[in-house]
Amino acid sequence: MSDVIKIHIDLSTGSVDIEAPASALDDVFIKLETFLPRLSQAHEQKSIPSKEAEIKEEPTAKPTKEKPSKGKGARKSKPQDLEKVELGLDDKQKGELQKFWEEKSPKIQNEKVLTIIYWLTQNTEKKYFSLNETYTALRLVGSPVPASLFGVFINLDLAGLAERKKETCKILPKGENVVIHELPRKPKNKK
């Protein structure tokens, strides 16, 4: 009988319970790697104080000797290799970008990237923007850069807010609507 791995993740009621054979652990982590950023983002949008994800491994059969890791199992994302690039903006445009950023006040990483790509689309002749261009613009407005900017591109694509082609991203009408009509977010009335 093979070991069964149980994983329980609770970002304060975003609960995910997974029970799978130990042999499928690699596949489970690959799927979790793409799912967790979206779960975390949904958690941020609800403005619930974050709790660390709780991951438990409970073998249900007798334990076996651990094999040395050969790059499988615990996956680590590749660090971003981003660099500042020339955006072709003059000082006036840089000031306009900063002013637009302050007006829209994006709070979560998807909104931040959408705001940058929207402004660049409206004020340059380009439609697709690279990771480095997005990184440069985020730095220009003084915003922290998401831990995985590529992951944000994927999230925006999956949500239908932007179209991703390799390591570039183009804002779609649904994404434009978020920037134009939903930002800045209105404070929620707490009674």
Q: Does the structure show a pLDDT above 90 at 132?
A: yes
Higher pLDDT among residues 23 and 60, named by residue: 23
pLDDT at 4 over 90: no
Tell me if the domain spanning 91-182 has CATH number 1.10.10: yes
101 CB burial (10 A radius; 0-12, 13-18, 19+): buried
More confident call, 25 vs 98: 98
**What are the residue ranges spanned by the domains of the chain?**
4-45, 91-182
The pLDDT assigned to 60 comes to: 45
Q: How confident is the model at residue 101 (pLDDT cuts 50, 70, 90)?
A: very high
Q: What is the pLDDT of residue 188?
A: 78
Average of per-residue pLDDT across 76-93: 86
Mean predicted lDDT score pLDDT of the chain:
80
CA angle 71, 65, 68 (to 5 degrees): 20
This prediction's pTM? 0.60
Question: What number is the average pLDDT over the span 145-167?
Answer: 95
The structure tokens listed for 26 are 């690699």
Q: Please state the rounded mean pLDDT for residues 133-138.
A: 97
Which of 27, 26, 19 is CA-nearest to residue 3?
Answer: 19
Q: Has residue 46 got a pLDDT over 90?
A: no
- Is the pLDDT score of 139 beyond 90? yes
